[in-house]
Chains A and B, each alone.
Chain A
């Protein structure tokens, strides 16, 4: 019997096949990574590690980048058949980024799933901390960056707190019971509470 995950150096390997949702995220990240850094957070972290529930959006933190750079990313996404809910031109979209408002992208002729891009800067201390402390996970040849598992659990328990979030946290606590470290919870708690 093969276990659900294994560890290889500093990477968590999830022992499963890729799904259509993974391919959606992978295709999007393959474009985005050419232009900026990122961190995948929230529901997809739980789903990627085996939580069995549906989802419509995949949340992604990224640092605010200059309009010119964002424009190149935006054109690259359009060229690769992604569309943005908020508009079709950089003039429509960039004000959202500048004002730290989220924007969403889906594949052409699709509505869900969508990638929800959450712009961050250093003033968003909690988000900036997780962004700068990524954990690598790998599913087959798909490698991506997520928050530390303990951080993700506590964020769901202390900040989000909805039924779905608490179930996600329970999933992560149980699935990674042999991996998570109590001292990490103590380290992350005050940082997470800054978001309250």
Chain B
């Protein structure tokens, strides 16, 4: 099954059954928690200055 087919299948199922939102919530919570932990550890001296250097490196600044 192609990814786009999976997207369509899941959208159809979640339209009919809102309990599937729980799966989506779990993914979002895991991503935010992981990102928070990673960057707090990476930039533990001067957060904003270190974060801006990192953001320049990935062309977000």
* B48: interface (CB < 8 Å): yes
Question: What bracket does the count of chain B residues touching chain A fall in?
Answer: 35 or more
B residues at A contact (CB < 8 Å) = 3-4, 7-8, 10-12, 14-25, 27-29, 31-33, 35-36, 39-40, 43, 47-48, 51-52, 54-55, 60-61
Asked, given contacts A85-B60, A167-B7, A171-B7, whether A4 binds B21 with beta carbons under 8 Å apart, the answer is yes
- Tally of chain A residues near chain B (CB < 8 A): 41
Q: Which of A34-42, A45-53, A64-72 forms part of the interface with chain B?
A: A45-53
A113 contacts B27, C-beta separation under 8 Å:
no
CA of A3 to CA of B12, assembled, Å = 10
A2's closest neighbor in chain B, by CB?
B18
A16 contacts B35, C-beta separation under 8 Å:
no
**Taking each of A21, A50, A54, which has the highest tally of chain B beta carbons within 10 Å of its own beta carbon?**
A50
Tell me what chain B mostly uses at the interface: helix, strand, loop, or mixed: helix
Asked, given contacts A85-B52, A110-B36, A166-B4, whether A52 binds B10 with beta carbons under 8 Å apart, the answer is yes
B61 contacts A86, C-beta separation under 8 Å:
yes
CA of A4 to CA of B21, assembled, Å = 8
Interface residues of A in 79-96 (CB under 8 A from B): 83, 85-86, 88
Asked, given contacts A47-B28, A171-B11, whether A3 binds B18 with beta carbons under 8 Å apart, the answer is yes
* A193: interface (CB < 8 Å): no
A16-B24, A53-B27, A178-B15 known; 14 new pairs, CB 8 Å cut-off, are A2-B18, A5-B15, A16-B25, A17-B22, A19-B28, A50-B14, A51-B24, A54-B31, A85-B61, A111-B54, A112-B39, A170-B4, A170-B8, A174-B8
